[in-house]
Amino acid sequence: MDDYFYQPLLLSVVAVALLQLLKLALRPATSPRPPPGPWELPVIGGMHHLVNVLPHRALRDLAAVHGPLMMLRLGQTPMVVVSSKETARAVLKTHDTNFATRPKLLAGEIVGYEWVDILFAPSGDYWRKLRQLCAAEILSSKRVLSFRHIREDEVMLCVEEIRAAGPSTPVNISVMFHSITNSIVSRAAFGKKRHNAAEFLAATKAVVGLASGFNVPDLFPAWTRVLAGLTGMTRSLRDIHRTVDTILQEIIDERRAAREAKVRSGVEGEDVDENLVDVLVGLQEKGGFGFTLTNSIIKAVILDMFAGGTGTSGSAMEWAMSELMRTPAVMKKLQGQIREAFHGKSQVTEADLQASNLQYLKLVIKEALRLHPPAPMLVPRESIEACEVAGYTVPAKARVVINAWAIGRDPKYWGKHADEFRPERFEDGAVDFTGGSYEFLPFGSGRRMCPGFNYGLASMELSLVGLLYHFDWSLPEGVKEVDMEEAPGLGVRRRSPLMLCATPFVAATA
């Protein structure tokens, strides 16, 4: 019985192996050679490799086995993971045009007004014109500078709140930083903090999670509608859309009425534009951009500003503060330079910052972004056509993910102490985050590079300076070290809030 069963089985295995070898031997030299990848299961492909893990870490470990250009199928979707400086350059520079579009995710259709925003609009003439418009009118250095009074106000409100808590009461720095960024973006976009701001921010946070591209319905394009209905994803996205759309329409109507009243009273030019909604409404009236700037596009652009400028900036700040608390020598050096530069001032303004040109502060921020990029795996791209990268063929319609977190910690580029917080590694100025250094990609590179990173950096610089100038910081009683555990999910949020005690160093303002 045993011979009757095992002998045919053995012969079958040998026959299949020989046929596979023959197939490989007869394969034309020009036939596609897909990137290597881990083992897969029927139907779900390699989805099991990303269950109950931190994806950026799990994909880094898989790349160590299968190489810096790796492919695994998630459901019906081939996903190519880029994990080296060299392969990142190939995707983001050499073949940037081919990888410059986005996958059409369900969240972008329902909440993003059918993919009309900057983030998820497919590449093409409309996207290029929209990006040019926003770069000139919304995301320019001049526009960022125009909101400096808002950043200064919010940082000082935070300083006074910390001062009021007293030196013995632990302060939730995580909440503080997220509150600062939320308030700054709210005031810059709408002109004021709104009564329904919490509802709007909750909706924005929810859509970010549903727009990751890793939700099951988005991984089975042929079954997206069915699966989204069964899992409740469609219902959730429509609820979010109703909330966001109602609030944004209310704001647009208010700002249009206020704008018209100003124009009637004789106010002209830039004095009419107090916030980003005002700017967009004015551009809508002006026209002449090669496309119609509809209310839906205005709403989608404002939603992008919130999605990209709140949670990510707050997270970057709390990680920077966490690293400073873990490295007292760096904290002492930075605090010393800040206090020497602004000695005697009751408040540090952005004008003060620009005049002082604190180089070490910039190094500290770079190092924090290297170790904790706001989006550890950059927003997914999609290949338009099949393309050869590093000797392998990336298929058309493949989802392409750059593991910026893994590249930023690779000892090949950063030395044997790659995981340590050492701002001095940036002293020579050879590496920067403006898109030309492919070992350092906190904001991406190429056509799809994050266009609004200057907003986040301005808030980060002033907030860190404000807190380090006004207070000496310590861990709460009984806490020996900073917990650096990351929260589950696609981001790199702290698992637990950063709680610190603040002893005033600069006297309260009169």
pLDDT of 367 > 60? The answer is: yes
In the prediction, which pLDDT does 261 show?
Answer: 86
In the prediction, which pLDDT does 197 show?
Answer: 82
Question: pLDDT tier at 13 (50, 70, 90 boundaries)?
Answer: very low
Predicted confidence (pLDDT) per residue in 397-412, tens digit? 999 999 999 999 999 9
Question: pLDDT tier at 271 (50, 70, 90 boundaries)?
Answer: low
Half-sphere exposure of 424 (CA within 13 A, CB side): 7
Question: pLDDT tier at 272 (50, 70, 90 boundaries)?
Answer: low
In the prediction, which pLDDT does 9 show?
Answer: 40
Question: pLDDT tier at 507 (50, 70, 90 boundaries)?
Answer: low
Instruction: Kindly give the pairing relationship between strand 399-402 and strand 77-82.
Output: parallel
Question: pLDDT tier at 32 (50, 70, 90 boundaries)?
Answer: confident
Predicted confidence (pLDDT) per residue in 434-478, tens digit? 899 999 999 999 999 988 888 899 999 999 999 999 999 999 999
Mean pLDDT in residue range 154-165 = 95
pLDDT of 38 > 90? The answer is: yes
E runs forming strands in 308-391: 381-382, 387-389
Question: pLDDT tier at 273 (50, 70, 90 boundaries)?
Answer: low
> CA 288 → CA 118, 134, 280, 315, distances in Å?
18, 14, 13, 38
Q: State yes or no: 450 annotated in a binding site.
A: yes
Any alpha helices (H) in 138-290, and if so which ranges? 141-146, 148-165, 173-190, 197-210, 216-219, 224-231, 233-264, 276-286
In the prediction, which pLDDT does 132 show?
Answer: 93
Give the span between the Cα atoms of 449 and 434, in whole angstroms.
9
Closest by CA position to 207, among listed 299, 319, 318, 75 = 299
80: tokens are: 């190519």
Predicted confidence (pLDDT) per residue in 55-79, tens digit? 999 999 999 999 999 999 999 999 9
Question: pLDDT tier at 509 (50, 70, 90 boundaries)?
Answer: low
Question: Quick one: CA dihedral 116, 120, 126, 127, positive or negative?
Answer: positive
Least confident window among 1-10, 203-212, 495-504: 1-10
In the prediction, which pLDDT does 22 show?
Answer: 64
In the prediction, which pLDDT does 1 show?
Answer: 42
In the prediction, which pLDDT does 5 show?
Answer: 39
In the prediction, which pLDDT does 344 show?
Answer: 87
Predicted confidence (pLDDT) per residue in 79-93, tens digit? 999 999 999 999 999
Predicted confidence (pLDDT) per residue in 377-403, tens digit? 999 999 999 999 999 999 999 999 999
In the prediction, which pLDDT does 8 show?
Answer: 43
Give the span between the Cα atoms of 510 and 489, in whole angstroms.
45
Backbone angles phi, psi at 451, to 5 degrees: -85, -10
Contact 171, 165 (CB under 8 A): yes
Predicted confidence (pLDDT) per residue in 194-253, tens digit? 888 888 888 988 898 889 889 999 999 999 999 999 999 999 999 999 999 999 999 999
**What is the value of pTM for the model shown?**
0.90
Q: What residues does each domain of the chain span?
A: 55-504
In the prediction, which pLDDT does 16 show?
Answer: 46
393: tokens are: 């063929």
pLDDT of 4 > 90? The answer is: no
Q: Tell me the average pLDDT of the chain.
A: 90
Mean pLDDT in residue range 256-278 = 79
CATH topology of domain 55-504: Cytochrome p450 (1.10.630)
C-alpha 428: how far from chain center: 26
- Percentage of the chain exceeding pLDDT 90: 71
Predicted confidence (pLDDT) per residue in 111-122, tens digit? 999 999 998 899
